[in-house]
A and B are shown apart, each in its own frame.
Chain A
Amino acid sequence: MRILLIDDSKTMRNIQKSVLKQLGYTDLEEACDGQDALSKIGAFKPELCLVDWNMPTMDGLTFVKTFRQTDKTTPLIMVTTEAEKSRVIEAIKAGVNNYVVKPFTPDLLSERIAETLAKCGVNT
């Protein structure tokens, strides 16, 4: 499965990569903000995206809204420090399928990924 990790922090992308590799996902691509992600989507064709919210150039919410204009089905998980209920609702309205608040344990991230893929009917 092709997974795109969108986060301006390399540290966070590395942590996510480590969890995903332990789960057996090795086809991973990285983007440092929403704009970078949009430029990589055509070639990489992700089947799942993990998206941070606060990023320079293009934030995660803008990315989600832009992405959903042309792709209604690819699962998107917001992984962010934005923990307020109003933010979660805003992200879900924009089109994310699940939400993980940082800090997270590897187990929690694994659970949310499995839950999201099952909900979206994606075969792993």
Chain B
Amino acid sequence: MDASYITPFMTSIQNVFSTMFQLPVEIGEPRLKTDSTTSHDVSGIIGVSGEMVGTIVLSMPGEAAESIVALFTGEQMAVDTDDFADAVGELINMISGNAKAEFQRKSVSISCPSVVIGSGHRVASNSGTPCVMIPCTTDCGEIVLEIALRESDEVASTKSAAA
């Protein structure tokens, strides 16, 4: 995957967490993901469409997610409540939207967020789209951003026809 697809998400998660609740995020070494099981129990998911297609997942262990949501909303919420899911959805929405702005000259749209909670769940993405995991360390715990993005078939075929 093109590194320019990954870097905006590293900057974005740091920007969102520091601006909204002053939580520093230390970015680890990105690595290729080899199975479809999400890294942790709580997943905020955004679909990407347009000239780029794929999914962005913010994957967090339950305890870390509870702490992060408490900082974000100012309230302690149980993981199984609608308000908790709403907060996780808004986090991945902001991270994805912010990163999307860095995809220069590409027309890209993001979906409304979905949130899945439960251990061992899977988030399926298009076959053939590589998924890169970005490990992030915070004072609330270890969390992961999973980026599965590629150019759309139309863009790829236009490029190969021009070559």
Q: Which residues of chain A have a CB within 8 Å of any CB of chain B?
A: 8-12, 14-15, 18, 54-56, 80-84, 101-105
Contact = CB atoms under 8 A, between A and B. Distances in A.
Given A11-B73, A54-B112, A103 B83 contact: no
A75 B15 CA distance: 28
Given A9-B93, A11-B83, A105 B19 contact: yes
Contacts of B19: 103-105
- Of all A-B residue pairs in the complex, the 4 with the closest CB atoms, nearest first, are A81-B97, A83-B101, A103-B19, A9-B90
Interface string B46-80: 00000000000000000000000000111000000
Contacts, number: 55
Contact of B15 (A80, A84, A103): A103
B96 A81 contact: yes
Main secondary structure of the interface of B (DSSP, over half): helix
Contacts of B72: 11
Nearest to A81: B97
B65 to A, nearest CB: 13
Contacts of A14: 73
Interface residues of B, number: 22
7 contacts: A14-B73, A54-B111, A81-B93, A83-B101, A103-B16, A103-B94, A103-B98
Nearest to A54: B112
Nearest to B83: A10
Given A8-B112, A11-B72, A80 B86 contact: no
Contacts of A56: 112
Given A54-B112, A83-B101, 5 more contacts: A81-B93, A81-B96, A101-B98, A103-B19, A105-B19
